Amino acid sequence: MKRHTFFTLRSAATAAALLAASALAYAQPGEATDNPYGLTALWTQSDLVAKSVLVILAVMSIGSWYVIITKLLDQLRIGVQSKAAAREFWNAGSVQAGAKKLSDNSPFRFIAESGLLATHKHSGLHAQVDFNDWVDLSMHRATERVQRRLSSGLSFLATVGSTSPFIGLFGTVWGIYHALTAIGVAGQASIDKVAGPVGEALIMTAIGLAVAVPAVLGYNWLLRRNVSVMDDVRDFSGELHSVLLGSSAQPA
């Protein structure tokens, strides 16, 4: 858990440093630039709407990479905990003893404790439900909670992947509109008057695609890895369900 927190903080610090460096570069408009049509010119010459589009795309990009990194660390952590459960839990004398050997944040311990709790709560109205079905229902709900926690954040990647190209396109249309307006007011349409504003506007589309591609690839990649991780979790849940049914925890 400490290692997961360290990597999360380090990724957040890296993103903050990149933002600070970008802000510092943009905050010095007096410095000469070799490329009057680059990103610096795009920022300094754009209006509030265009700058808002750039900020939104930057936030989306940072958020996407944050989700990708944290979800990958979660998957790796569960993979390690799966090996620990296979090594320590099944060699314990009882389900209670095996659960205590697992780490507090382990989903396998959460499922084991949920199964044990179900066996002790099979009373009252719950007793009218078949013991097998009651334990199976309780462990199924615990497994689904693990899956929901593992899948949290993926919807953000899907949203970024589907919307960021259109946000970039909006910035492009807005930039071209202002470029054409400026050309109309000046009454000149030479290539040197058109290349800069139109080129800067088209950069918005490129930035939108640069934000969308990692989000889409990360979403599909993490989704495939989630399937493999959840296979281990469901296998553990199914085996534990059989053990609980045949153990002394079952009421007479």
130-159: pLDDT as tens digits: 777 788 888 889 999 999 998 888 999 999
Least confident of 21-25, 137-141, 223-227, 244-248: 21-25
pLDDT band at 51 (very low <50, low <70, confident <90, very high): confident
Output the 3-class SS for 71-111. HHHHHHHHHHHHHHHHHHHCCCCCHHHHHHHCCCCCHHHHH
Q: Mean pLDDT, the chain, as a whole number?
A: 77
Q: Are 101 and 88 in contact (CB under 8 A)?
A: yes
User: What percent of the chain has a predicted confidence (pLDDT) above 70?
Assistant: 71
* Residue 121 identity: K
C-alpha pair distances (Å), 75 with each of 65, 185, 221: 15, 57, 12
Q: Are 73 and 4 in contact (CB under 8 A)?
A: yes
pLDDT band at 42 (very low <50, low <70, confident <90, very high): low
Write the DSSP string, 152-178: TTHHHHHHHHHHHHHHHHHHHHHHHHH
Q: Using CA atoms, how far apart are residues 241 and 140, in angstroms rounded to an integer?
A: 10
CA torsion, points 30, 34, 40, 45, in degrees to nearest 10? 70
Instruction: Please give the pLDDT value at position 96.
Output: 84
Instruction: Please give the pLDDT value at position 160.
Output: 94
More confident residue, 124 or 4: 124
Q: Using CA atoms, how far apart are residues 70 and 79, in angstroms rounded to an integer?
A: 14
- Both tokens assigned to 156: 């953000």
Instruction: Please give the pLDDT value at position 38.
Output: 60
Instruction: Please give the pLDDT value at position 71.
Output: 94
| pLDDT tens digits for range 81-128 | 988 888 888 888 788 888 888 888 889 999 988 888 888 776 666 666
pLDDT tops 70 at residue 234: yes
Instruction: Please give the pLDDT value at position 192.
Output: 60
> According to DSSP H, which parts of the chain are helical?
2-26, 39-45, 48-84, 95-101, 107-120, 131-151, 154-186, 191-246
This prediction's pTM: 0.72
C-alpha pair distances (Å), 19 with each of 4, 195, 196: 23, 28, 25
pLDDT tops 80 at residue 194: no
Instruction: Please give the pLDDT value at position 201.
Output: 75
Instruction: Please give the pLDDT value at position 14.
Output: 47
Residue among 83, 214, 70, 213 at smallest CA distance from 150 = 70
> Three-state SS for 121?
coil
pLDDT band at 220 (very low <50, low <70, confident <90, very high): very high
Least confident of 12-16, 78-82, 163-167: 12-16
Average pLDDT on 177-181 reads 75
Residue among 53, 57, 70, 59 at smallest CA distance from 154 = 70
